[in-house]
Amino acid sequence: MKEVVAGLIKKNNKLLITRRTFPPELNGKWEFPGGKIEKNETPQQGLEREIFEELNMRVYARDQFMSVRHQHSRGPINLLFYWAEWVEGDAVLTDHDMFAWVDIHELNQYDFAPADAVVAQRLQIVPE
């Protein structure tokens, strides 16, 4: 099973979310940004690398919040969600068409990808 990491990135008590443009079934859905963990890297290292590659931002990855197993169109994935602190940089969109910094209590106003929706709901019950 492929492991993917996503960041619950905090800045000024708000979380960063991004809107997908692909694959087609997830176009327009919001997510917590991240990506695939490469061989010989920890989930935290993978998160920090992916956020820099995809958004040109530096973050400091911390503790795991939860994991979600999901049947993706390209096979099963284990999605690991980690808390992270924004360090520097403004989001530069390459793989997404929008981003937003939102309060945890506003997450229910966004249409999330299925695996991320589970986490968004959980965050409203049990925040950090």
The pLDDT of residue 25 is: 87
Strand partners, 75: 72
Q: Please give the model's pTM, rounded to 2 decimal places.
A: 0.94
Secondary structure class of 98 (helix, strand, coil) = strand
Q: What is the CATH number of the domain that holds 95?
A: 3.90.79.10
Q: Based on C-alpha coordinates, what's the Rg of the chain? A: 13
Cis peptide before 24 (omega within 30 of 0): no
Counting the structural domains of the chain, the total is 1
Q: Please provide the average confidence, as pLDDT, over all residues in the chain.
A: 94
CA dist 25 and 65 (Å) reads: 26
CA dist 65 and 82 (Å) reads: 5
60 within 8 A of 84, measured Cβ to Cβ: yes
37 within 8 A of 43, measured Cβ to Cβ: yes
pLDDT in tens, 44-97: 999 999 999 999 999 999 999 999 998 877 789 999 999 999 999 999 998 899
